[in-house]
Amino acid sequence: MTSTTETIPLGDAPGFRETLQDIFAGRPGAIIALAVVLLFVAVAVLAPWIAPYDPMQQSFLAVNAQPSAKHLLGTDQFGRDVLSRLIYGSRNSLIFGFVSPVIAAVVGGGLGVIAGFYGGIADRVISRVIDMFMAFPELLLAIVVAAALGGGFWNVVAVLAIAFTPGFARVARASTMAVRQEPYIEAAVASGVRTPVIILRHVVPNISAPIVVLMTLWMASAIRLEATLSFLGIGTQPPQPSWGNIIREGLGNMFATSWPILAGGMAITVVVLAISVVGDAVRDALDPEVKA
């Protein structure tokens, strides 16, 4: 009598295409939001070719002009074309919104993985530093760091990254501590696999979903924070345009023309709302607690 053992094949991990289907299938709002985000990204990339004027070109003959065929969104108090400044301002705002969370995810995620995997003194030191930074609201922390570092592109990137790093570190630490107890991690340790290999091959892939979800959601927050810092005068410095300082400059001239305020505020609102909708869809698809 012979017995046969049936082998049940294991399913492959979902690929990029399957992940996109999980995120956007049956969610027309998320698809529209993604299209809006991609449209603004295209505008930022193609700014030198689609902007009708130099964003810093002044014309005292066209000061505070109302919208017309020549200036679709009018001009500001220096005669600069509002639409051109809005288009070029999308570059700074979107770069800060995308780059800063990525840097914060790498730095904060790395600190969280170290604290959660090694434990002991490393965990205690990193956790206390994280707790210290998380005692400050993100906006207050960003204002304090920006006031110390000053304006400038990389300074603003650093400010936003520092503001978001503690949150990523906290999530990565908690996820790493959960993964650290899994049998396959214990088996890898017992078999003598080097710790860096275990972290890169087994830990990081298994904690990436909550990190990606958080990074997507905080892109919208990064754009809002950059606009707030620029509005307060400690973000992107004039004459370089960003949506925040367009509103700031328009506020002092609002009784002559309100179009810079309306245009900058609408751009921030639309992009932040679109990114938030996409972030919610990513969270619903990748977060196991939400999916459950």
We report the CATH number of the domain holding residue 249 as: 1.10.3720.10
Q: Kindly report the average pLDDT of the chain as a whole number.
A: 85
Number of independent structural domains in the chain? 1
Asked whether residue 57 carries a pLDDT value surpassing 70, the answer given is: yes
More confident residue, 15 or 170: 170
The residue-averaged pLDDT of 228-256 equals: 87
* Amino acid letter, residue 262: L
Note whether residue 130 is domain-resident. Answer: yes
Note whether residue 140 is domain-resident. Answer: yes
Note whether residue 273 is domain-resident. Answer: yes
Question: Is residue 292 helix, strand or coil?
Answer: coil
Beta bridge partners of 75: 81
Q: How confident is the model at residue 10 (pLDDT cuts 50, 70, 90)?
A: very low
DSSP category for residue 57: -
Burial of 149 per CB tally in 10 Å (0-12, 13-18, 19+): middle
Note whether residue 53 is domain-resident. Answer: no
Note whether residue 93 is domain-resident. Answer: yes
Residue (of 102, 288, 292) closest to 206 by Cα position: 288
Note whether residue 224 is domain-resident. Answer: yes
Note whether residue 5 is domain-resident. Answer: no
Domain extent for 262: 79-291
Of 7-11, 220-224, 269-273, 286-290, the one with minimum mean pLDDT is: 7-11
Note whether residue 6 is domain-resident. Answer: no
For tokens 């939400």, name the residue: 290
pLDDT value at position 288?
A: 54
